[in-house]
Amino acid sequence: MSKKPTTLSPRAAKTIKQVCRLKTDNFDAGGYWILHGTTNICFAQQKNGERATQAFTIPRKTFDRMVDWYHREQKLRGNQ
């Protein structure tokens, strides 16, 4: 019998059940939040317990591509 996994990254959580099992499914970076869903990611600016002052939602696959680009090393331009 296989043992249930005890860790999972938010990126790997593809179903509602997996998202709900995460220790935290949202992330607060000092008043800016990433709200994690199975198909979309929402970015919001808000204080804890208050309404968002601004927010936008993008498809999760688009967010994943952005994160991949951000972490990928690139060749530098020119000789500086």
Residue 62 inside a domain? The answer is: yes
For residue 17, the one-letter residue type is K
Residue 22 inside a domain? The answer is: yes
Residue 63 inside a domain? The answer is: yes
Residue 67 inside a domain? The answer is: yes
Tens of pLDDT, residue by residue over 33-61, are 999 889 999 999 998 888 999 999 999 99
Residue range of the domain that includes 22: 13-71
Could you give the 3-state DSSP secondary structure of residue 66?
A: helix
Say how many C-beta atoms besides its own lie within 10 A of residue 36's C-beta. 19
Mean pLDDT of 71-77: 92
Residue 77 inside a domain? The answer is: no
Residue 37 inside a domain? The answer is: yes
Strand order in the sheet with 54-59: 26-28, 32-36, 40-45, 54-59
In the chain, how many domains are there? 1
Number of residues written out for the chain: 80
Residue 2 inside a domain? The answer is: no
Mean pLDDT of 60-76: 95
Going by pLDDT thresholds of 50, 70 and 90, the confidence category of residue 25 is: confident
